[in-house]
Amino acid sequence: MAVLQFVNPPGVHDPAGRYSHVAVATGATRWVLLAGQVGARPDGSVPEEIGAQCDQALANLLTLLRAQGLGPDSIAKITVFLTDASYIPAWREARAKAFGSITPPASTLLIVAGLASPQFKVEVEAIACG
């Protein structure tokens, strides 16, 4: 079983949000790389509202993790793509609901011009171990 240690070493600024600068995995026998997940529901429909898309993208990500016998605490690195900086508060709220009080993984958030379809406002990918 992998053990994840999250570190914010001295010599760099404190994280600007709820994330860790470094994730160190020891004893990892298996890495799980999750493709980017958008806010599409299982039936393929996509909610218009950004909060609902963030919630659904994270639900999709967690479903993929559970299918591998893992949970959110197995995520070493998460990358988030948003199509507008004004969506950051909705992302943070959805992340807090989905991840609760676990130690936050290493994280990158990018504002991009667009995603695979104009209806998508958020995409989330992750690297997990366990």
Q: What percent of the chain has pLDDT over 90?
A: 68
Q: How far apart are CA 92 and CA 60, in angstroms?
A: 17
The per-residue pLDDT for range 10-61, each reduced to its tens digit, is 888 888 888 898 888 888 678 888 889 999 999 999 999 999 999 999 999 9
3 state SS of 33: strand
Would you list the DSSP string of 91-112?
HHHHHHHHHTTSPPPEEEEEE-
pLDDT at 18: 86
pLDDT at 113: 99
For the chain, domains (ranges, CATH) are 3-129 (3.30.1330.40)
Q: Answer yes or no: pTM beyond 0.75.
A: yes
